[in-house]
Structure 1
Amino acid sequence: MSQQYIIICYSTSQMLRADSLLKAMDVETDLIPTPSEHGTICSTAIAIGEKDKGKAEKILAEGNFAVKGIFPHKTRKLSGLMESLKNCVISQTFKDIMKKVESGEDLTKDEITYLLKVEGESELKALFETADRMRKEIVGDIVEVRAAIEFSNYCNKSCHYCGIRNGCTVPTRYRMTEDEIMEGVHELHRVGIKTVVLQSGEDDYYTLEVLIKLIKRIKRETKMGITLSVGERSYEEYKALKEAGANNYLLKIETTNPDIFKFIHPDDDLEYRRQCAQWLKELGYVNASGNMIGLPGQRAEDIAEDILFYKEMGIHMIGIGPFIPAAGTPFEKYPQGSVEMTLKAVAVTRLVCKNVFIPATTALASVDPDGQKKALQAGANSLMLISTPPKYRSNYQIYSNKNMIDLDSAVKAIHDAGRKLPKYLKLDNNQQEE
């Protein structure tokens, strides 16, 4: 494989302009999360092949683009990994895969599937510890903390697993006003949270104009980062929301298996979901996706395909949680997804995608009191608080018995996992790291 290079720009707008120009001049490019040694993962770099390096340099110089630089895209290795595993009771196949991880080689679908199927205590321990080491070398020990405001539980979709689906009898439907949302935003800003996640069902009440007005107000009053999670939209809408100030977009793929996707999403189309992810990438969003573990009919091979999708799409943030049935839905009697398989998926995703943010999801905390701690010790590096106002939050039940993660429980999970709190959090004395 020939050497790849990455172009690091000073801003997202510069990156998009440079990428557009390079493509117009027949330079093959890809947009990927910025390697941690060159900046934050939650930004995007332009990847090019060795054959196009000279041409790209000339084009950017002639276009008067000021870039931070064009750097070799180094393979992330784990030096000394095999030495650390020498006393472990592991199979030869496991050893061979770990040798590839040590040298930074890409894993095949069969190898990813093998890791997802490991069951022995020794191999599980080795898998989680290797993923945790990869996490430490790439993003360090500080756990990123974000917070979600679930501002509407109306939805025009009928996803079979979802507790706020169209037609589902939820306790009470609600929509928050702009002022109510802003009250929550200001409270998060007060405790130091840097990014607010605005999440809802696919609710047409919140038009493009309404969302743009809200985004601009948040930026004007707090300058916080904004993650939107409001479902499938058109390219033009995504573009307008980005131009208004949205930074990140969360649109989970849920599964890349076409048959399972159709089974769980009777009124959605997998190819359109993929197209949305591509649009978000092209528009320069910090692109977030994720899947559910334990969906009806799902195999380890399907999860392996999901992981390869994240890598190929250049996803920045990947949320992986167990399927949890929701009362009143067509899937309410299906079995819950496995915590162990979820943790394996987190670990393998870290080893394959490497340079990404992986949250220890709320869903894990909802089925295992120590679920978030376990995920943080298996490759995850972020947490999301549930900051929906108390009078509404019990009605936003995508799945039943949801754990309402607050700042105290997040701090506890971080402490218990032996990880570090971000310095931007403004905590009281009882919450401070010892």
Structure 2
Amino acid sequence: MSLIDKFIKNNITEPYILVCESKSQMLYSKDLMDKLQIENDLIPTPKGFGGVCTTAIKFDKKDISKVEEIVESNNIEYEGIFSLKDKYKYDLSQIYNLNITDNFKEIIKKVEANIDLEKKDILYLLKTEKEEYKALIKMADIIRKECVGDRIEIRAAVEFSNYCKKNCNYCGIRRKNKTHRYRMSEEEILKEVDKLYKIGIKTVILQSGEDPYYDTEKILSIVKKIKERYRLGITLSIGIRDENEYKLFSEAGVNNYLLKIETASRKLFEQIHPDDDFNKRVKHTKLIKEAGIRAGSGGMIGLPNQTLEDIAEDILFQRDYGIHMIGFGPFLPAKGTPYENYKPGDLNLTLKVVAISRIVCQHVFLPATTAIASLNPDAQAMALQAGANTIMLISTPPHLRENYEIYSNKNMVNLDFAIKSVKDAKRKLPKYLNYDYLKKLGYEIDESLIN
């Protein structure tokens, strides 16, 4: 049995969920369940049982009396215990009227009945063309609207170091690549965060290569100052860390942790990561969740030697590991890497993956990635129309941005570009942005776009 199978195969045959009032209550409940050897898993709370990007504890019906005893005897603050048979039902009736095959109709029936799609279903959707492709995008859009509405989440990344100890074959900041290396000081990072705070951004992404220079103490200092000064949501994207570090980050207020699997195929993973460990990456995905941090993952579409079967497994990995934020973008070659001469990933296939991820994983955040915007400037809007609901701005200081090139010809997505993508996709900008301040900076804001 593979490591992935070991983690996701369990005896939960009739799933129930416990939805707690807070992260601390959820972690306390899970700890008590673990001590009593009640099989459980952390999953994104399904639509209808709680907010998007919150976490529920999944367990089997046979243990319901034990779970009820846990919450009552320990005064757990919780919203409820629910059967997943009662999951939110999506009305996809309008899709049946489109020009689709019986196979596609059977997939729709499964989605409507809350029956998990199998690999063969995902493979069918990955191969859709013409009218069925339109039906796929429409189905994803319906589910997106029901789950997260029309408002697009705007987040911002500060790429604070391009040093990396790893030598991934596709990455422009790999250890062996010749590039101008930089590290931002804590003061420089906080200066950029201050700018984001002033324009109303609610979540900052602190991203770097796997750089040991930023030890636990340095990361915690930055996190705590951001929380104290600005009370922003924080996503870390800094590679694999020790299990205890995830717990310390969680206690300090880190909300999300992005650790992309890139591919769920062990064979392909080892080809693109010559000095990384597949089992370790899978294990740490689970450790992040168990520390009480929402897990972000995703992958690249169009990697050398990648098959549709591999891509189907990538999508299933996101669902089976309960990933909250799923970023799929096209493979884009980077100069100076072993993969620099391979062709980029296909836009149409990437959009299919975004759509299928929304259909399969539903109540999660799906970014319209910077990579897809780099492949085609109109593609970010297309991804929003295919089920995505998040845009990440590049907020690295301008004089450093070109040195953080994971792939070449990166689209430095700024607020102007994001606003255009939202408008083109006929979506809405979030109310939380400071529009009065943005107007003073010279931004022209269409009031009808704000929700």
TM-score bracket, normalised by the shorter chain, equals over 0.9
- Name the residue aligned to 2:119: 109
Over 3 Å counting, the alpha-carbon distance change for 1:86 and 1:15 in structure 2 is: closer
Using the size of structure 2 for normalisation, the TM-score is: 0.93
Partner of 2:290: 282
Identity of aligned residues (%): 53
Instruction: Report how far residue 422 of structure 1 moved.
Output: 0.8
Please report how far the alpha carbon of residue 3 of structure 1 lies from its aligned counterpart in structure 2 after TM superposition: 4.9
Question: Is 1:265–2:273 an aligned residue pair?
Answer: yes
Offset of 1:262 from its aligned partner?
Answer: 0.7
Residue 421 of structure 1 deviates from its aligned partner by 0.9
**What residue number does 1:246 align with?**
254
Deviation at 1:54, TM superposition (A): 2.1
Q: Which residue of 1 aligns with 2:3?
A: none
In the TM superposition, 1:4-403 aligns within 5 A as 4-73=15-84, 74-79=86-91, 81=92, 83-119=93-129, 121-170=130-179, 172-403=180-411
1:70 is paired with a residue whose SS is strand
> SS at 1:318's partner residue?
strand
Give 1:294 deviation, angstroms. 0.2
Shift of 1:169: 1.1
SS where residue 309 of structure 1 aligns?
helix
Q: What CA distance in whole angstroms lies between the structure 2 residues aligned with 1:360 and 1:185?
A: 22
1:359–1:381 CA contact under 8 A, matched in 2: yes
* CA RMSD between the two structures: 1.4
Equivalent in the alignment of 2:8: none
Inter-partner Cα distance in structure 2 for 1:423 and 1:38: 24
Contact 2:161 2:209 (C-alpha < 8 Å) held by counterparts = yes
Residue pair 2:48, 2:87 contacting (<8 A) in 1 also: no
Contact residue 160 and residue 208 of structure 2 kept, 8 A = yes
Is contact 1:159-1:266 (8 Å) kept?
Answer: yes
CA shift for structure 1 position 126: 0.2
Q: Report runs of 4+ in structure 1 exceeding 4 Å deviation.
A: none
How far apart, in 1, do the equivalents of 2:280 and 2:348 lie?
A: 31
Q: What is the alpha-carbon distance in structure 2 between the residues aligned to residue 86 and residue 247 of structure 1?
A: 40
After superposition, the C-alpha distances for 1:375-424 in whole angstroms (9 at most, x for unaligned) are 00011111100000101011100000000011111111111111111110
**Aligned equivalents of 2:16 and 2:447: distance in 1?**
40
Query: What amino acid does structure 2 have at the position aligned with 1:261?
Result: F
CA distance in 2, matches of 1:162, 1:124: 31
> Residue 421 of structure 1 contacts residue 433 of structure 1 at CA under 8 Å; is this kept in 2?
no
Opposite residue 165 of structure 1, the aligned amino acid is R
Structure-1 separation of matches of 2:88 and 2:378: 30
CA distance in 1, matches of 2:14, 2:212: 47
Q: Where does residue 417 of structure 1 map in the other structure?
A: 425
What do residues 15-34 of structure 1 show as CA deviations (whole Å, max 9, x unaligned)? 11111101212322211112
2:416 maps to 1:408: yes
User: Structure 1: which 5+ runs fail to align?
Assistant: none
Mapped to 2, the partners of 1:25 and 1:418 lie a distance apart of 50
1:433 equivalent to 2:442? Answer: no
Cα distance change on mapping 1:315 and 1:86 into 2, 3 Å: closer
Q: Could you tell me which amino acid in structure 1 is paired with residue 361 of structure 2? A: C
TM-score normalised over the length of structure 1: 0.96
> Deviation of residue 47 (structure 1)?
1.6
| CA distance, structure 2, for counterparts of residue 32 and residue 178 of structure 1 | 34
Is this contact kept in 2: 1:415–1:433, CA < 8 A?
A: no
How much has 1:2 moved relative to structure 2? 6.2
Distance in 2 (CA, whole Å) between partners of 1:420 and 1:55 is 44
- Note closer, same or farther for the CA distance 1:88–1:67 as it changes in structure 2 (3 Å cut): closer
- C-alpha displacement of 1:102: 2.3
Deviates more, 1:415-424 or 1:62-71: 62-71
One-letter identity of the residue aligned with 2:49: H
- Matched to 1:114, the amino acid is Y
5+ long unaligned stretches in structure 2? 1-11
CA distance in 1, matches of 2:124, 2:299: 19
